[in-house]
Amino acid sequence: MSVLYTCEICGKECEGHPNSRYCSECRGKVIRSTHKESLAKRRAKRQTKASEVAKPMTLGQIAAKARSLHMSYGEFVAKYGL
Ligand SMILES: [Zn+2]
């Protein structure tokens, strides 16, 4: 059964399913834009994760690194600004 409805985006009168909210043209755009949005969100999430992985070294790691360079922890921090 199809009924007349008005597209919520462009206001065009269309005939279709009673639950339809957008004309076929706008529906395509809406689906594309939500798809793009979720992609961007997913990408942003991944970036957050990546930066968490690249977090600065732990105190123990810094101390070990300083030792390997024959520096004290204080010297190492002063030089590399950690
Ligand atoms: Zn429309």
DSSP-derived secondary structure for 10-75: T--EEEE-TT--S-HHHHHHHHHHHHHHHHHHHHHHHHHHHHHHTPPPPHHHHHHHHHHTT--HHH
Q: Give the distance (Å) from ligand 1 centre to CA of residue 12.
A: 6
- Residues 14-31: pLDDT tens digits? 999 888 899 999 999 988
Q: Give the distance (Å) from ligand 1 centre to CA of residue 11.
A: 6
Q: Give the distance (Å) from ligand 1 centre to CA of residue 43.
A: 29
Q: Does residue 7 have a pLDDT over 90?
A: yes
Q: Give the distance (Å) from ligand 1 centre to CA of residue 28.
A: 9
What is the band of 70 on the pLDDT scale with cuts at 50, 70, 90? very high
